[in-house]
Structure 1
Amino acid sequence: MTIDAKTPEEYISKVPEDRKEVISKLRETVKTNLPEGFEECITYGMIGYVVPHSLYPNGYHCDPKQPLPFACIASQKNFVALYHSGIYADKELHDWFVSEYPNYVKTKLDMGKSCIRFKNIQTIPYQLIGELCRKMSPQDWINIYEQNIKKS
């Protein structure tokens, strides 16, 4: 589900009423905990966090005009999602998150490659997400991206 918005505030204003507070809290958790250097924007119809061209001039290999994506928050049809490229690209970070999740939420983790799905918005582990966000700097992400993802 893509929401047509130009700013994170506009995005939040367009999500279903029962998700506004959750998306706002998730956004604040990510913004507060991401290391300096990431920038917030709207990307691919979601609230995004990217490595700007000022830090990584090459941009995203799929479209170099776009900054290097790192994380996104989205209100999807049946869930709220946090997309975090670090847990997709860094096995150690992925394994840490998977092992910590049951300490915060009693239901099974619903996760894709980079997507963490929250079908029950009452059980979003904001503290754990904050910790996840603190674990990778823009330079860490650039290094992993160039080693593991970027096509030559």
Structure 2
Amino acid sequence: MIKDKGVQQYFNSLPEDRKVAMTELRDVIVNNLPEGFEEVISYGMPGYVVPHSLFPQGYHCDPKLPLPFISIASQKNFIALYHMGIYADNTLLKWFVDEYEKLGKTKLDMGKSCIRFKKIDQIPFKLIGELVSKMTPQSWIALYKKQLRPS
């Protein structure tokens, strides 16, 4: 059930083929994401954030915004999953890359926190479910704060 009207509008605006894949991606995230994250529209796309009720400081770039964690988007040539945890945690990144390679479907197309899926029929939904289950809001907050500390 989509609670945020903006999220519902986002999904309603998608082309039918993308709507199916994006809905499945959303369902995998919602069904595997640890309790405490909230679904919102963030930066124009569905996002999963640590709400101000858990982390009052908010996002350092704009403290009025909740702390972002995961976002998903239907881009022109691909579906994107943005996962801040794999950007901040090398162990989690290595785990994901290794597990993705074991699938042997397609070459991983990835930026710092962005995983791009050009072939929507080859999105590894089960692996994404495992990925999103690995970090609680509390562990994300701790890692985020650690990353912000000057060396």
- Return the TM-score normalized by structure 1: 0.93
Pairwise CA distance, 1:15: 1.4
Q: Which residue of 2 aligns with 1:143?
A: 142
Instruction: Tell me if the contact between 1:72 and 1:84 (Cα under 8 Å) persists in the aligned partners.
Output: yes
Residue 107 of structure 1 corresponds to 106
Aligned pair count reads 148
Q: Which letter does structure 1 place at the counterpart of 2:114?
A: C
Poorly superposed stretches of 4+, deviation over 3 Å: 149-152
- CA deviation string 1:1-22 (max 9, x = no partner): xxxx952221111112210000
CA shift, 1:145, in A, is: 0.4
Task: Please tell me the root mean square deviation across aligned C-alpha atoms, in Å.
Answer: 1.6
For 1:41, the equivalent position in structure 2 comes to: 40
Q: Is the 8 A contact 1:89 1:149 kept in 2?
A: no
Q: Which residue of 2 aligns with 1:53?
A: 52
SS at 1:7 equivalent: helix
Unpaired segments of 5 or more residues in structure 1? Answer: none
Deviations 1:115-148 (A, max 9, x none): 0000000000000000001100001100110011
The residue correspondences of 1:2-151 to structure 2 (distance < 5 A) are 6-149=5-148
Could you tell me which runs of 5 or more consecutive residues in structure 2 were left unpaired when the two chains were aligned: none
CA distance in 2, matches of 1:85, 1:105: 24
- Contact map agreement 1:105 1:123 (CA 8 A) in 2: no
Q: Structure 1 residues 79 and 151 mapped into 2: Cα distance closer, same or farther (>3 Å)?
A: farther
Name the CA distance, whole Å, in 2 between partners of 1:27 and 1:134. Answer: 13
TM-score in terms of structure 2 length: 0.94
- Distance apart, 1:103 and its partner CA: 2.3
Distance in 2, Cα, partners of 1:8 & 1:136: 23
Q: For 1:11 and 1:42, locate their aligned partners in 2 and report how far apart those are by CA, in whole Å.
A: 8
**Alpha-carbon distance in structure 2 between the residues aligned to 1:113 and 1:76:** 17
